[in-house]
Structure 1
């Protein structure tokens, strides 16, 4: 028997239930389909395409080492899989379950031709329910319920053998897909920070396990290497969540990190029940919020995107994002809050920028995180909670982080670097504040009252 292994955001061999099932059935045809039509406006962003290219290349080499190969096709996923079944004589498709609305629609369209497996979550989000049997809208309750289902099963090893079909179907060439940027190549900084692929993911998880006991104390300090930096690997499924969970077994401070890992499950549960969460306010009352629009707002958005707001911690984060495809989590909250509350620009415009620039922009995680900061989501901060970027910068000791990403400020003292404007030592080549904190706060509070 020949079966098809449909790969999406699960580009690994280790702990891959769909691969294990396919290998058990017989000959396996692993296939990745680049479907830019099914997601509509949510086709993968530019930074993710860079990672995808290198991740697919690494996966292809790993499959070749097992005597198999990776088939690449481009087009509508359902139509392509149907055609591949005819070409290969396969009578079944094995795949890991996904929760993006377009993938759920594709899975439904394939009907009984597809066998879905759990492998990208600690537990299936739809199985984590309130006492009344309804989905959780608040993370704290979700975590308590999920905790009762933990630990997850131990990760499974790679199958000893992956049988090849008698005849391989044709494959497109990865280089022809144009996933890597050119003219200009804005990804030159990515390779300095990242090595895509399963081997690098497993190595990073092992390295982080040695540091997890410091996670609670260090994770909020942008200048320190206190986070796992596993998010891009998890995003494309180069490592499974349960492999990450068990990587930190035996460490006394593992729970705080595991709560952050479980947040990914929660956000997929949110978009499962509210598929348009990336486009619609979780709380409809915020549909009346008077977001700024027009040329001035557009100019402010561009200044935020380019890291030219005059707020050092914000500018450092936005420049780190552009250069490396990643941003420290604490700074993500600060930069998002600044766009929404200080500049009063619709959270969806920031969400779109992150989608294109982040290597790890999950549909669920990205949308839920933006609505959490905006105060528009089902589980979120109050809109009236406005992060003070200057205070946050000092509190979390961001001086060296700022110096790294905003070189105009490299010679500013520790005492002044968080707010060189106020200290009277702003260099001429660094912009003045785009808006004062007090003025921005009052404007945002007024907008919030109008929405209510």
Structure 2
């Protein structure tokens, strides 16, 4: 009598190594149906932005190739997962469906619906922890709330020791023949008219193999100077792992264990690796926040900000989105984002501060723009970061911290090479002027081919007056 197959449902873990559900399916001694379901039906599951959809398409192609290398196939379907998996289980006479848990309320609701649908057919279902280093249940306070301050949270995580060891990739995944599948192109994830993804293609190589290579390069080379250089957008000093983590092409456990091993092998890299792991900790912290607050992208964590006097300024928002604010470091970051789907983390803080404090535009408008344009638009990191800058989030920056974009540029892009790359119309300005071209003499501007207000915009707001206005707006909350 033939052995009934097992379905491995790929969700946000698009890899084969350290994939608990795939590992369990491969160990079952049965054929394995590997499936990804594009869920565009479930309510409350946030639709991916444009850049993330592009990444997902490439990641699925990479996963297809990885599966074929071990004899498997990736079945692509579209719809509500409960309906799709119930139908697929019936088609293939599956005995069980395995998946990795996603510790977010909407995805847990989806998983519960799948479990119920399968139970009605007498089909086993099993989920496995995956996207967090620590089970949120172990970090509850006496009142049931999760962590709200990063430093004690991270100290507690570190004190808990290493997470479970990473699981190996399966050597073989015998498929079930004849299972119908969509093509990646049928999912319509990539832009066509117009095709704006040229910069993304030039910048990124999605997939598990690329993620592992990036991690190895970072730990073996870049980590040595990471602590000192990580805030420099003019240097290639970071890991570039964020989108790979976002789509589960590499797991936080794999990153953790590889980093710990590298620190022991290369003591000179230990300081940088510890700092790097604390950034992994911020990802974990944000995910734990999202576990408690599914409305993280739409509601202030600090309710006092519900009455903040945000300004509705569509022209200013558009200038910020296009990188035409007249502040070089801000405009460089926004243009980098549009072209490549990413932005250096220090510059993310600068441009976010500029939007919510210089322009007094609601942080949610910025969060939504990042959600659509970042390849690493993470449902936890993105809103948590915006709320941190706005001053309304967990462990947030104080509202009176208003980044001066000129000083930030001079400090972190001292030679101006970052601005020159992304704002080429300023390329001929010397370093002392490139972060404040309005301070250049007319002759200096002319010799650099710059006409303020024409070839490069004049600042849309004065820093000093904007800071005073922001502090006055925040003072209204204290009075109320």
Q: Which moved more, 1:243-252 or 1:2-11?
A: 243-252
Does the alignment pair 1:388 with 2:391?
no
- Give the gaps of 5 or more residues in structure 1: none
Residue 119 of structure 1 and its aligned partner are, at CA, apart by 2.3
8 Å contact from structure 1 (residues 12, 239) kept in 2: yes
1:292 aligns with 2:303: no
1:261 and 2:280 correspond: yes
8 A Cα contact 1:125 1:265, kept in partner? no
Shift of 1:87: 1.5
- Compute the TM-score of the two structures, normalised by the length of structure 2: 0.90
Which protein shows a greater Rg?
2
User: Residue in 1 aligned with 2:440?
Assistant: 423
| Residue of structure 2 equivalent to 1:244 | 255
Tell me which residue corresponds to 1:97: 101
Closer, same or farther: CA 41–313 of 1 in aligned 2, 3 Å: farther
CA contact (8 A) 2:31 2:174 kept: yes
Find the counterpart in structure 1 of residue 61 from structure 2.
57
Query: Are 1:129 and 1:142, in contact at CA under 8 Å, matched by a contact in 2?
Result: no
* Residue aligning to 2:139: 128
Of 226-235 and 172-181, deviating more is 172-181
The match for 1:335 among 338, 346, 351 is 351
Flag the 1:131–1:255 CA change in 2: closer, same or farther, 3 A. farther
SS in 2 for 1:430: coil
Whether 1:433 aligns to 2:459 is yes
Aligned to 1:407: 424
Cα offset, 1:298, TM superposition: 0.4
Residue 23 of structure 1 pairs with residue 26 of structure 2: yes
1:305 correspondence with 2:353: no
Matches within 5 A, 1:4-403: 4-25=7-28, 26-38=30-42, 40=44, 42-111=46-115, 113-130=124-141, 134-165=145-176, 167-210=177-220, 211-248=222-259, 249=261, 250=264, 251-253=269-271, 254-293=273-312, 297-398=313-414, 399-403=416-420
Cα displacement string for residues 408-448 of structure 1 (whole angstroms, at most 9, x for unaligned residues): 10001000011111234552100000100011101111111
- Per-residue CA distance 1:338-377 (angstroms, 9 max, x = gap): 0000000000000000000000011011111110111111
Please tell me whether the aligned partners of residues 310 and 432 of structure 1 are also in contact (alpha carbons under 8 angstroms).
Answer: yes
- CA deviation after TM superposition for structure 1 residue 451, in Å: 2.2
Residue aligned with 1:29, SS = strand
**Counterparts of 2:215 and 2:178 in 1: how far apart (Å)?**
35
**Deviation of the 1:247 alpha carbon:** 2.2
Equivalent pair of 1:10/1:236 in contact (CA under 8 Å):
yes
1:5: Cα distance to partner?
1.0
Q: CA–CA distance in 2 between the matches of 1:77 and 1:432? A: 51
SS of 2:90's equivalent in the other structure is: helix
Deviation at 1:213, TM superposition (A): 2.0
Moved more, 302-311 or 373-382: 373-382
User: Bigger shift: 1-10 or 299-308?
Assistant: 1-10
Following TM superposition, by how much is the alpha carbon of 1:144 offset from its aligned partner in structure 2, in angstroms?
0.8
**Alignment partners' CA distance in 1, 2:138 and 2:41:** 30
**3-state SS, counterpart of residue 33 of structure 1:** strand
- My pick for the range that moved more, 90-99 or 277-286, is 90-99
- Give the CA deviation at 1:107: 1.4
Listed one character per residue, the Cα deviations across residues 386-419 of structure 1 (whole Å, up to 9, x for unaligned) are 1111111111125100000000100010000111
Q: Aligned-pair distance for 1:40?
A: 4.5
- The number of residues matched between the two structures is 448
Question: Structure 2: which 5+ residue stretches go unaligned?
Answer: none
Q: CA deviation at 1:383?
A: 1.7
Helix, strand or coil for the counterpart of 2:27?
Answer: helix
After superposition, give the CA deviation of every residue in 1:115-142 in whole Å (9 maximum; x if it has no partner): 1112222222332344776411111111
**More displaced 10-residue stretch of structure 1: 437-446 or 116-125:** 116-125
**CA deviation after TM superposition for structure 1 residue 300, in Å:** 0.4
The CA distance in 1 between the partners of 2:26 and 2:197, in whole Å, is: 37
Between stretches 393-402 and 282-291, larger displacement belongs to 393-402
**C-alpha distance in 2, partners of 1:125/1:393?**
38
What CA distance in whole angstroms lies between the structure 1 residues aligned with 2:407 and 2:81?
A: 48
Conserved? CA contact 2:283–2:381, under 8 Å: yes
RMSD of aligned alpha carbons: 1.6
Cα deviation, 1:155-189, whole Å, max 9, x if unaligned, reads: 22111221223x44211111122211122111111
Determine if contact 1:59/1:198 at 8 Å carries over to the other structure.
Answer: yes
